[in-house]
Amino acid sequence: MSKVRFEPIDAQALAAFEAWHDSVFSWDEVVRWKAREPLSFDIAIWFEQELCGLCFANPNNSRQRVRIVRLEGRPAKAHPLRNRIAALALIAIDEFARIIGSRLIEVQEPMPGAIPIYQQLGFAFDLQGRLVLAVENQVS
């Protein structure tokens, strides 16, 4: 895991993303989102020089929840971090959420096929039907 690194989604990450085939999302608009959302959180997850995942999250206005807006692993059948992207992203999102004082991490509009993965990571549907996870080690 010493070869894993977290970087902002920048021009290098977007250029590497262009090599992905069958991507679920377009990531080009992240640059605009980052400009509009000063507290947004974005990460490109790399293994050495290979882009393996992308994530964009932002807090709601009260900062009580951090919403995962997009999270995607490279759709290639084999890459060094296959089946680890969500867990790695969640480590970083949880730390971000603790720093800004959020209580929950919420998946905004989860794709049906991704729901079991989130549930394996501890997410559950709340009474409002949101897929959420309590922030670890929350300071009251």
pLDDT in tens, 32-63: 888 899 899 999 999 999 999 999 999 998 89
pLDDT 10s digits, 63-82: 999 999 999 999 877 889 99
In-domain check, residue 139: no
Tell me which residue has tokens 């989860």. 110
In-domain check, residue 103: yes
Nearest 5°: the CA angle 107, 105, 75 is 45
In-domain check, residue 79: yes
In-domain check, residue 43: yes
Chain-centre distance for alpha carbon 88: 9
φ/ψ of 30, rounded to 5, equals -60, -35
- What CATH number is given to the structural domain containing 128? 3.40.630.30
Number of domains making up the chain:
1
In-domain check, residue 140: no
- In this predicted structure, what is the pLDDT of residue 140? 45
In-domain check, residue 24: yes
pLDDT 10s digits, 88-120: 999 999 999 999 999 999 999 999 999 999 999
What is the β-pairing status of strands 124-125 and 104-107?
unpaired
Tokens representing 74?
């490279």
In-domain check, residue 48: yes
Give the predicted TM-score (pTM) of the model. Answer: 0.91
Which domain does 17 fall in, by range?
A: 4-134
